[in-house]
Structure 1
Amino acid sequence: MVSIIFIRGKVKFNITLDPGVWIFDDRKADLNTYFTKKQENEDAIERYTKAISNQWDREIMEGAVYPPTLKTEVKFEKEKVLTGTFGIPFQPFLKNAEPESGAKNVVIEYGENEQAVLSIEEAYGIILGFSKDGKPLREDGPVHVYYQDGSNKDHPIKNVSGFIVE
């Protein structure tokens, strides 16, 4: 099994994806809760503003030193990374590849020469699962493809080897 996958075809830039580094990415989502909770579509500026506001409030209330609650929060996040099941949105990768104006579909290559075809709009919504219970998807990975609505959350597309923009 190859651990990297490619986005190629009718794109301005061919993209190489390495799921092994996504565990450190802030865009990762917990797949155990992703399809059950309502997704909030916040932009980066709004998230940043909320984070800074929370930090400011904390410093006003507790002072500028790290209170014990922050240490336990960091420990919880480390534990979550070591045992969690995570995915990452495909949208930023497809957007960075810059599909050409005539591109209409994205072909997902998986298994033994199998393919699934999605429209560009559908492809922008897919989630790439890259870890299960804190471990990379070595047996049937490197990624699993989940539809945005979660309709295939019990049976994702496995053994994905690449994406072709047509």
Structure 2
Amino acid sequence: MIFPLDGSVRHPITIDPTVWIFDDRKRKIEELDAVAENDQEAYYAKMGKAWDDGLTQGTRVDHNKPMSRQDKDAALRDSFAMPLAPFINNAEPVDLATHIRFYGETVLTIPLHDASRVYLQFSKDGKVLTDGPVYVLYDNQIIRQVNHITVLSGQ
């Protein structure tokens, strides 16, 4: 269930939403309105703190960090989405990039500067989406069956 993020970017990437359940950036669908504005700032604050701690205390990588019982229970019953902005940032849109297009059951094109308001839903009620790989959640719109994201130039 992987899909590409390509187009007017320096680094086309392949996205695998099946691993997002372990990602700290995921959000419960019910909480999206409350966290949408501060999501990127919270992520950068967390990464900044981790960087500072690494400099002052040294680093210790724990790749086998187990999920807590509470996290496991939530993963088996809740619906989650991932913010799109970090993936767009990693792909590094070129200077002329202006829009993002999502291909799914319908095609949605939005301005690139709205990427921070887009979430990719990857689970519903603790299960992988049957008509996925992801849904795009943007301004009270849901685009199902999204399987390709393209960054466009000069729209």
- TM, length-normalised to structure 1: 0.72
Q: Does 1:119 align with 2:116?
A: no
- The alpha-carbon deviation at position 92 of structure 1 amounts to 0.5
Which residue is equivalent to 2:76?
82
CA contact (8 A) 2:25 2:43 kept: no
Which residue is equivalent to 2:64?
none
Q: Secondary structure at the match of 1:159?
A: strand
Following the alignment from structure 1 to structure 2, what is the Cα–Cα distance between the partners of residues 44 and 102? Answer: 25
Give CA-to-partner distance per residue, 1:87-121, whole Å, 9 cap, x none.
Answer: 0000000100000000101111112xx42110001
Which residue is equivalent to 1:32?
30
**AA of the residue aligned to 2:147:** S
Any gaps of 5 or more consecutive residues in structure 2?
A: 50-66
Which aligned runs of 4 or more in structure 1 are off by greater than 4 angstroms?
A: 36-39, 46-49
Following the alignment from structure 1 to structure 2, what is the Cα–Cα distance between the partners of residues 135 and 119? Answer: 31
Q: Does 1:129 align with 2:121?
A: yes
More strand by share: 2
Identity %: 33
* Alignment of structure 1 residues 12-161 onto 2, 5 Å: 12-36=10-34, 39-40=37-38, 41-45=41-45, 74-111=68-105, 114-138=106-130, 140-147=131-138, 150-152=139-141, 156-161=142-147
CA contact (8 A) 2:36 2:117 kept: no
Following the alignment from structure 1 to structure 2, what is the Cα–Cα distance between the partners of residues 80 and 43? Answer: 21
Pair member with larger Rg: 1
Residues 5 and 85 (structure 1), Cα distance of their counterparts in 2 relative to 1, 3 Å cut = same
**AA of the residue aligned to 2:10:** K
Q: Secondary structure at the match of 1:35?
A: helix
- The alpha-carbon deviation at position 33 of structure 1 amounts to 2.3
CA contact (8 A) 2:4 2:147 kept: yes
CA contact (8 A) 2:28 2:78 kept: yes
Q: How many residues align?
A: 134
Following the alignment from structure 2 to structure 1, what is the Cα–Cα distance between the partners of residues 23 and 43? Answer: 16
Residues 28 and 37 (structure 1), Cα distance of their counterparts in 2 relative to 1, 3 Å cut = closer
CA contact (8 A) 1:6 1:17 kept: yes
Q: Secondary structure at the match of 1:157?
A: strand
